[in-house]
Structure 1
Amino acid sequence: MNYFRTALLLAALTGFFLVVGYLLGGQSGLVIALVVALGMNLFAYWNSDKMVLRMSNAQEVGPNEAPELYGIVQGLAQRAGLPMPRVYIINEEQPNAFATGRDPEHAAVAATTGLLRYLSREEITGVMAHELSHVRHRDTLIMTIAATLSGAIGMLASFGGLMGGGRDSEGRPLVNPIVAIAAMILAPLAATLVQMAISRSREYEADRMGAEISGQPQWLASALAKLHAGTQQIPNQVAEANPATAHLYIANPLSSGGLASLFSTHPPMEERIARLEAMTGHGYGMAPAMSPNGPWASAPQSSRRGPWG
């Protein structure tokens, strides 16, 4: 049902894009919008991971540079039956993480230095299991396409508003100016809401599957509580400078609240934690629970805590 809903929402985004193109440029606008949508999605498909990692100033690490993080990801990937993704570290104090890549064979996971500093080994394991769930379900590609289409709709609507829409051979507007203005205002808002719905549904599913991969829902629940507190108190300068990447993170990295939180691409953290806590003790897991000190461990278990608790 989740995949069917996601497909419908992606179809709705594509439809919005084509409708805006038609309203602002008639038949030719529709064709241009279709070509632009295909071009942007092809570009995003091949280059989105490189762009996101570059914008985040992420540095690739191996077992020598980050033995604990690399060992955790390696163990989880083996457990989930996934190829070993590339592992990156972002020099940011805010605890957070994300995954990117068009498919499991070209995936990468990234963690901030704050996440490694403030979370325990079990909590890091829960976070990385969440990110590998995104990789397994190809959510990174889905959410990249959603963000690309949503951004393109806003760009097209703004461009069409500035140009005044298309005109026929006699110079008359193809559409009512009021309709064009309405499209310029409402289309980006509708696209944002659809993107938000896609991202939220994929986050819930990644929480569930991440808990199954690690076999310990409480590890991720505990991590999310710390991430929620950390992201509210510690700004993420990289994400603030590149807000288009915010939807990829496990926790919303942007320092916004109030009305802006209603349009967040992340579901309420309290609800995510409650769902994970409801899974605890019900035998979830793909196999017996993973031990944070398993044979792949390369550093002693720790119980790091941030200044928020």
Structure 2
Amino acid sequence: MRTPAGEHLNLRQYALRNGLQSVLLILFMGGFLGVLGWLLWGSAGVVLLIFMGFSAVAFNPALSPRWVMKLYGAKPLDRGQLPALDQVLEWLCERAGLETVPRLYLIPSRVMNAFSVGTRGRSAIALSDAMIRRLSLRELVGVLAHEVSHIRHNDLWVMGLADLFSRLTSLLSFVGQALLVLNLPLLLLGLVTINWWLILLLVIAPVVSALAQLALSRTREYAADLNAARLTGDPEGLAHALDVIEQAQGGWLEHILMPGRRVPEPSLLRTHPQTHERVERLNALKQELDEGGALPLDALLHRFDHPEVRHTPRRRFWGTWW
């Protein structure tokens, strides 16, 4: 995809801004965790937290994408079942520089949903039955490009690190408050003094860390939208898909009559930006992308019909669709 020099600079500025926001949020979460450790146990607490963090990142085995998909009830799609999506995914991975093509899975659900799991070397993408049926092939390309962008930039690893910081912060907050309760008799007798600012920090620490984690999730979603537009040269395709997905979401009546119908999002990416904000950003990119960049996508789409799913999901007694 070729773009004029000035337009390409603007795209780089978008990417740089998103990258800087992610780095700053990670540094903030790590620094905030370090401050808590220092206030509780001094320099020894900081060293302990650094050791725990590095150990968790280095030795915590990542779940296989296949097992994660089993947790969501997703079924693997054999190559050739949906040939259009197979070839589109290969095309996107080639443009993204991914050596390994993610495995496609089908979520037997009437709720429109898609997500990716894994790393650059071992990954999978799940699409719900409803999404394949209701989105056009052009819109499905935008969705797949968004998920490929998550995999390309190791977003799940980044969000896993943020989740680790958030959990450690919550643990420290619990430990600090437990120590306060244990020393309450001494406080009442006036035998020890306490720093009330520390108590306030311990109380609000989990909330602050969670907000930073959710902000990071939104930043990574914006970045994935941007990179999806760059991969396809067609920001409108993803924007249209987001609009269709938003309109398909049920209202309050669905939550009352059919609770639990929705497919849950992966916990590490549990908060997304407002759809209208994402659509506005994607539409703004139309002026930044060269019109010639969409030609390879147009040529690819003309080769295929819309992929068809050969079954209708049915609701089982225990609540799953298939």
Q: TM-score, normalised by structure 2?
A: 0.73
Q: Which residue of 2 aligns with 1:275?
A: 281
The yes-or-no answer on 1:193 pairing with 2:211 is yes
Instruction: From 16, 33, 41, give the equivalent of 2:32.
Output: 16
8 A contact 2:113–2:263 mirrored in 1: no
Alignment of 1:123-142 (within 5 A): 123-142=139-158
8 A contact 1:49–1:100 mirrored in 2: yes
Q: Which residue of 1 aligns with 2:21?
A: 5
User: What are the superposed Cα offsets for residues 191-224 of structure 1, whole Å, 9 maximum, x if unpaired?
Assistant: 1221122222221121111012122111100101
Alignment of 1:159-178 (within 5 A): 159-164=175-180, 176=194, 178=196
1:127–1:185 distance in 2 versus 1, CA, 3 Å: same
Q: Which residue of 1 aligns with 2:104?
A: 87
8 A contact 2:138–2:301 mirrored in 1: no
1:202–1:90 distance in 2 versus 1, CA, 3 Å: same
Say which SS state the counterpart of residue 301 (structure 2) adopts. coil
Provide the rounded CA distance (Å) in 1 between the counterparts of 2:176 and 2:65.
Answer: 30
Q: Which residue of 1 aligns with 2:114?
A: 97
Instruction: From 220, 228, 231, give the equivalent of 1:210.
Output: 228
The amino acid of 1:59's aligned partner reads K
The percentage of aligned residue pairs carrying the same residue is 30
The number of residue pairs the alignment matches comes to 278
1:110–1:174 distance in 2 versus 1, CA, 3 Å: farther
Alignment of 1:35-184 (within 5 A): 35-43=51-59, 46-47=62-63, 49=65, 52-83=68-99, 84-102=101-119, 104-164=120-180, 176=194, 178-184=196-202
Provide the rounded CA distance (Å) in 2 between the counterparts of 1:173 and 1:294.
Answer: 80
Shift of 1:237: 4.5
Q: Which residue of 2 aligns with 1:257?
A: none
Provide the rounded CA distance (Å) in 1 between the counterparts of 2:294 and 2:278.
Answer: 23
Shift of 1:65: 4.1
1:174–1:115 distance in 2 versus 1, CA, 3 Å: farther
Shift of 1:112: 1.9
Provide the rounded CA distance (Å) in 2 between the counterparts of 1:165 and 1:29.
Answer: 20
8 A contact 1:95–1:114 mirrored in 2: yes
Provide the rounded CA distance (Å) in 1 between the counterparts of 2:209 and 2:87.
Answer: 39
Q: C-alpha root-mean-square deviation of aligned residues, in Å?
A: 3.3
Larger radius of gyration: 2
The amino acid of 1:152's aligned partner reads L
Shift of 1:286: 5.4
Say which SS state the counterpart of residue 197 (structure 1) adopts. helix
1:107–1:272 distance in 2 versus 1, CA, 3 Å: same
The amino acid of 1:90's aligned partner reads I
Shift of 1:139: 1.9
1:77–1:117 distance in 2 versus 1, CA, 3 Å: same
Provide the rounded CA distance (Å) in 1 between the counterparts of 2:263 and 2:195.
Answer: 39
Provide the rounded CA distance (Å) in 2 between the counterparts of 1:284 and 1:40.
Answer: 46
Say which SS state the counterpart of residue 98 (structure 1) adopts. strand
8 A contact 1:165–1:173 mirrored in 2: no
Shift of 1:148: 2.5
Say which SS state the counterpart of residue 109 (structure 1) adopts. strand
User: What are the superposed Cα offsets for residues 81-120 of structure 1, whole Å, 9 maximum, x if unpaired?
Assistant: 3221122222332212112223x22222222222212212
Provide the rounded CA distance (Å) in 2 between the counterparts of 1:173 and 1:7.
Answer: 44
8 A contact 1:166–1:173 mirrored in 2: no
1:27–1:164 distance in 2 versus 1, CA, 3 Å: farther
Q: TM-score, normalised by structure 1?
A: 0.76
8 A contact 2:85–2:307 mirrored in 1: no
The amino acid of 1:278's aligned partner reads A
Provide the rounded CA distance (Å) in 2 between the counterparts of 1:150 and 1:284.
Answer: 43
8 A contact 1:44–1:144 mirrored in 2: no
- Give ranges in structure 1 of 5+ residues lacking alignment: 253-264, 303-309
8 A contact 1:22–1:28 mirrored in 2: yes
8 A contact 2:234–2:294 mirrored in 1: no
1:175–1:285 distance in 2 versus 1, CA, 3 Å: farther
The yes-or-no answer on 1:288 pairing with 2:295 is yes
Shift of 1:25: 3.8
8 A contact 1:166–1:174 mirrored in 2: no
